[in-house]
Structure 1
């Protein structure tokens, strides 16, 4: 694809804390106390209020807060034909707690259908709220690599051979389904799409890599598969469509899944993934140093996630500015930017901070951007 140079602008990674009224409506829907129409009405009002707040906060790009999702990734997967929603029996083990046990599993050949995938209508509503304003709508979706990681998770992988004779056929269908989805968003007016991708975190954690599973994973050549899937999905797209990616180490109820610097993936992810901008987690020592940024190729940008979204304590302003200057030793300042390290609610549980605190975080981000980059 052609990498289109475009101002990064003030933008949040994606998700926001769900307001109490929305959480109650989702529970009422689960308990069959209200129907889908009633739930959608509550969602629409909550998203309308959120977008107004985003615009008032000065955000150049706004999201719907992922308010219609339970998960940052699984809800999108479930919208594809050939993907089923099941309960795995156990969740993912984060550092301090286990997630819920939902997963995505193959039930047929993977296809995208714009008429049945709910995210297209979700984006159309978001776009309607930004029409007539200076704000641009940003669509966040999980990366193709993330879908592959879910499909080969443990016993989920047993389903693949029921529908695909070769891995290459599966790769082709994932890439095609994503490419078709991205073009459908484009047709509805999306000009910035962000691929959220935690799959690379598996290569960063020394504790995981020291296990037999970790060693096998690191030596499997799967980095090349993840790169192929992501690049295959975003090739041959319109020149005025910007594709960014967000890479972190897990974000569930303020917990994390992996630790470790970006060094083990820099030669693949930073050098060869054909995105315009990387949103990178850099809010703690778990993320390592800035040296891997030297591997970011071409004229691609990096948004430094130096402000944590995992708690409400505001960072020291000068410490953040000093860290930006440190990062500029490896990538020029005009190719760097600032954001939170992740969303505030990658799942509907949300992180352990208040709504006021999330807006204070974004206010801090904006003020530092204005000072450092003018």
Structure 2
């Protein structure tokens, strides 16, 4: 395969992976006070080491820790920002799948102090990950984008006594993220991914209606989010590659939004200063490839053609055909291949087995080798 020397790689993946049973049991034991935090950490370390070996064995050039130390892909990070705390209220996100509907709930958030970075979030996790990857494998850190802090609560979550003017909130939020980027770069991180459902959700008219109902400017919200992400990553080192992953929800093999990327595409692809876009494209719900015509030269598109929502394995011929379709809008040399989302965006995981997960990752590596080799 004509391997890319820098991320994103021809065969890549989003980040989260199915948690092993012994890790889930250790988390339950810790919640009940039956084991210590150090004992849980030891179980996590062992599980992370095993999942890193799996990623190497299937042929991936990057490795994550599977997000094994998190309950949720985003809230574990957001609650650790200074000035933000969980509340007794609940955020409810409505999900759907082929079998029916279900709801995801997490504690709501409140911005009741100046937003700031008080620690290097996931710093110890990244140190461990980077210490165990092979020299020719790039350790990848995934964190939620700054957009998610606002999208989950909106203006109602921000104490007006702390931020009487919204602009000050946005400045502090991007500054906190910029400091996080600086710190993880200092730890040696050269592959950072900002996970962002909001920029995909906003393509769904139903989601924009929800934002408008709570008082947000849904028609222009994506422009604000793009500006804030750009401010957060503007001063990153030249050798730190930053990507963003945009999907329409991923919880126990279900989704929350639908629709193509058309509504945000021109501004997103033309203005967001990341090095690559991980895009969900595993079914008709994701729309067609026409929005990719706005991707400028030099930016990579990672096509999420392999679904993580079920275990049935896609065919190489179908994947190659869809890559050819996408190449009508963006040059083949700017395309990579990945799963559509993580396999376990929350601790519960999607409804497929570990072996099915491995088979999908191996399929991606093999297909990429045949397309770009």
Structure 1 gaps of 5+ residues are none
Residue correspondence of structure 1 range 258-269 to structure 2 within 5 A: 258-269=257-268
User: 1:158: how far off?
Assistant: 4.5
Q: CA RMSD in A?
A: 1.9
Residue correspondence of structure 1 range 8-27 to structure 2 within 5 A: 8-9=8-9, 10-27=11-28
User: 1:105: how far off?
Assistant: 2.0
1:161 maps onto 2:164 in alignment: no
Residue correspondence of structure 1 range 170-209 to structure 2 within 5 A: 170-209=169-208
Residue correspondence of structure 1 range 1-374 to structure 2 within 5 A: 6=6, 8-9=8-9, 10-95=11-96, 96-114=101-119, 117-130=120-133, 132-152=134-154, 157-209=156-208, 213=212, 219-374=218-373
167 and 284 in structure 1: CA distance in 2 versus 1, 3 angstrom threshold? same
Per-residue CA deviations over 1:58-81 (Å, capped at 9, x if unaligned) read 111100000000000000111111
Q: Distance in 2 between matches of 1:42 and 1:226?
A: 37
364 and 213 in structure 1: CA distance in 2 versus 1, 3 angstrom threshold? same
SS in 2 for 1:368: helix
71 and 127 in structure 1: CA distance in 2 versus 1, 3 angstrom threshold? same
User: 1:7: how far off?
Assistant: 5.1
User: 1:277: how far off?
Assistant: 0.4
104 and 294 in structure 1: CA distance in 2 versus 1, 3 angstrom threshold? same
Aligned partners of 1:209 and 1:215 also within 8 Å: no
164 and 209 in structure 1: CA distance in 2 versus 1, 3 angstrom threshold? closer
* More helix per residue: 1
Per-residue CA deviations over 1:100-138 (Å, capped at 9, x if unaligned) read 232332131111123xx44111111111112x5311100
SS in 1 for 2:85: strand
The alignment covers a number of residue pairs equal to: 365
Aligned partners of 1:74 and 1:104 also within 8 Å: no
User: 1:254: how far off?
Assistant: 0.6
* More strand per residue: 2
User: 1:179: how far off?
Assistant: 0.6
Aligned partners of 1:87 and 1:101 also within 8 Å: no
Q: Distance in 2 between matches of 1:107 and 1:39?
A: 31
